[in-house]
Chains A and B, each alone.
Chain A
Amino acid sequence: MILSLLSIFDFFKPGFFYATAAVFAVLIVLLLVLIYWNLYERKAAFFQPQSFRVEFELWVSKWILEDLQDTDTIRVPLKFAKHLKRPNNRQFALDGLIELKKSVAGAVGDKVVALYLELGFKEDSLKKLNSVVWHQKVKGINELSVMQQEDMNARIFKLTNNRNKYIRREAQSAMFNFYGFKGLRFLNVLTHAISDWQQLNLIEQLRPLDPEPIPGLSGWLHSDNDTVVIFALRLAEIYQCFEVHADVVHCLAHANEAVRSQAAKTLKEIADDSTADILCKQYTVETVRNQVVLLNSLAVIAGDAQQPFLTKELDNENAFLKLGAARVIATCCSNGWAILGAKAREQPSPFQKIYNHLRFELKK
């Protein structure tokens, strides 16, 4: 206590005060110099790559637009070699080529791939592919896929059933990108689920391809993986694969409600003379949710032959099913409106409302 009082007292002595102030002043100056140096470094680090980036993009643009022969070699300017040693610059250059390849097709796209190989970016992508960090691996797969490095297909194929969903998803898209419908062979061995999002992505990727018989479709419809079955059913629906009608009917007996529901939707698109009766038979053993789906499918394919079944369903206790059956009668039976009119007179509540509702709905 006495000591600390003494030191406070010492502080007010002129000599000690000036010495302390001088030390603080030096420290402040040092701090300012450090801040300035740091800002200078950052500025240099920002502007130097910026100029490299602009120059590199210009060089790439010029090169890909030049009319070169296959035998012409790419001469990478020396000034880029130094910059391309820095990881950030390399990734920037690679990202630029990837973006370009995604946007341009034809000969220019091929030149972008040639540049990717010449600049050694394939090795960068392979390093990422070998990484244990999942997002690096995903990036590596994506780069190889965009640059059409099909020779990597065996390694990427193994990742289509990876336990990490992001790696799996990217690898599946890559296989598809390489081989189109044939790339879907990963469905033969897939044990993990394909999410709805991934199914949509794959279907989106499929769209530009010409419809063709899908190899393996019949087998996928009998897969132990329910999501594979659902995806196969969606493919059969979109591409109207009539050849798998029997397999799709088989799916109506599946234990999974979602599979049965998708099968009912698919059958609407690949229906033959027997399909409407099959759906009516299925209706009797289905959950209410799937019964609604079945009625929606019947609304497209039913005919007068299903009228007795549908008329009976008008008496179903569930209002949704009642309305659904009435809708099918109105749209598919030749005397549908007469049947509904008679029912409305016989039992105004609720059939008059249903009748009016359908008149309004179907007029739209």
Chain B
Amino acid sequence: MKILLVEDATALLRAIELKLKKIGYEVYPCADGRQALEELESVTPDLVITDIMLPFVSGLEVLNAAKAKNKRTPVIVFSAMGQENAVEEAFLLGADDYVVKPFGLKELEMRIKRLLGTLNADIQS
């Protein structure tokens, strides 16, 4: 399954990318919103994970573009403490879930699996 991952903190981007690759996902990492929009033109991801605050193009615009391409693509947004308004806006634009920093990578994994519908299979196994 393809995951478009957008995060400007490169150390975090690499850590999550590695984690998701370990689980078995095909990850498309992007360090800014503009790169993510370009990536969206060539890739149809099964899930998008994006930070809200990004350079050049905001995470909300990435979310918008992902939903415009395929309304059913689930989107998880990262937010920092105190970004409630942005999270609210993200939900209005169709975000499916959000994670507040700092978060646990295991928590993120669970949320991804839930949205991709693979969590139940995991529990049963």
> Which chain A residues have a beta carbon within 8 Å of chain B's beta carbons?
53, 57-58, 60-62, 64-65, 96-97, 99-109, 204-205, 207-208
Contact = CB atoms under 8 A, between A and B. Distances in A.
Nearest to B16: A61
Contacts of B104: 104-108
Interface stretch (B6-14, B87-95, B111-119): B6-14
Given A60-B11, A109-B102, 6 more contacts: A61-B19, A100-B11, A104-B12, A108-B15, A204-B81, A207-B81
Contacts of A53: 10
A207 B100 CA distance: 13
B103 A104 contact: yes
Contact of A57 (B14, B101, B102, B103): B14
Interface string B67-81: 000000000001001
Interface residues of B, number: 19
A64 B81 contact: no
Contacts of A102: 101-102
A354 to B, nearest CB: 34
27 contacts: A57-B10, A57-B14, A58-B18, A60-B11, A60-B14, A60-B15, A61-B11, A61-B14, A61-B15, A61-B18, A62-B18, A64-B15, A65-B18, A96-B9, A96-B10, A96-B11, A102-B101, A102-B102, A103-B9, A103-B102, A104-B12, A104-B103, A105-B102, A105-B103, A108-B15, A204-B82, A208-B81
Contact of A100 (B12, B17, B81, B82): B12
A205 B81 CA distance: 8
B9 A99 contact: yes
